Amino acid sequence: MKKMLAILVAVTLCLGMAAIAEETYSVGVCQLVQHPALDAATQGFQDALTEKLGEAVSFDVQNASGDSNTCSTIVNGFVSDNVDLIMANATPALQAAVAATGDIPILGTSVTDYATALDIEDMGEATGINVSGTSDLATLEDQAAMLNELFPDAVKVGILYCSAEPNSQFQADAIRVYLEALGYTCSDYTFADSNDVASVAQSACDGSDVLYIPTDNTAASCTEAIRNVVEPAGTPVIAGEEGICKGCGVATLTISYYDLGYATGEMAYEVLVNGADVSVMPIQKAPKLVKEYNAELCELLGVEIPEDYVAIAE
């Protein structure tokens, strides 16, 4: 009898262990548009979860090609598939995910300000809904100080961004306060989409001594068009992140989007495996900031860079 009981216990334990081993998780990833910063964030997210879960996690990664409506189609598909978690890469993807489900945990990344993106007043460290994630906001006061360090004699700063991106508007409004406190006159130059980037950039160059471009997804996907305007105009650009700076800027105070995505993946592990309540998880920020410069454009435009800046790799 004791032998039979021992066998039954052993079988039960084996079955339990097999059930644990066989537990898998499905994750839907909606990325707004393909460009280096967002690509790096998605890769970091996948790497973090894969390192922890191996083949126990599967990803459905879809790209919306810059279209908010496509974001909605993608995340509605994730909801229909009843995925275990949605990762929304960039603000429009996050907004689409929140509109699609109030039940499935959502983690955002490459989102500047969650309160602005989700229209939550008096938000604390957490959203209070089925959303958390990571913010790509570098300190705007420090970015303004960088612009002042490099261009102390400039008078007019043009802030160039996409009017369809709420987080770009948030950054523009915030940095304007710091720039004006430093004595600059600031003007907004906004484009609705990629079709009018070049013409608006030309207007910005005509009316400005230096431009500031925040972490703007449309701008990030149109850096070649912007560079084709700012380089012949001789107008330097301070960028909110490395990808934009590499494409058309002279300097940036940037984060690692790979590290940001990786941190988001670690949060996803806590939600999926350890049952963390996403609604009370504090929004996390980038672990470190780096001063970087675009050596080629700095040389072309005659911009002198202090020694504590790091050249962006070619």
187-196 residue pLDDT tens: 999 999 889 9
Assess whether pLDDT exceeds 50 at residue 11. no
- Which amino acid does the sequence have at 234? G
List, in sequence order, every residue forming a beta bridge with 135; answer none if it has no partner. 111, 285
Percent of the chain with pLDDT over 90: 80
Residue 91 phi/psi, 5° resolution?
Answer: -60, -50
195-208 residue pLDDT tens: 999 999 999 999 99
Instruction: With CA atoms as reference, report the closest residue to 128 among 234, 261, 283.
Output: 283
- Report the mean per-residue pLDDT for the chain: 91
26-65 residue pLDDT tens: 999 999 999 888 999 999 999 999 999 999 999 999 999 9
Instruction: With CA atoms as reference, report the closest residue to 167 among 202, 236, 217, 210.
Output: 217
Pairing of strands 251-254, 290-293: antiparallel
User: CA–CA separation, 51 vs 66, rounded Å?
Assistant: 29
- Which amino acid does the sequence have at 135? S
Residue 36 has what pLDDT? Answer: 85
Tokens at 293, concatenated: 């410069």
Assess whether pLDDT exceeds 50 at residue 19. no
Predicted TM-score (pTM) of the model is 0.74
User: CA–CA separation, 312 vs 256, rounded Å?
Assistant: 12
Which has the higher per-residue pLDDT, 238 or 8? 238
- Which amino acid does the sequence have at 179? L
User: CA–CA separation, 234 vs 214, rounded Å?
Assistant: 20
pLDDT band at 286 (very low <50, low <70, confident <90, very high): confident
Helical H runs in 81-194? 91-100, 114-118, 140-150, 166-181
pLDDT band at 130 (very low <50, low <70, confident <90, very high): very high
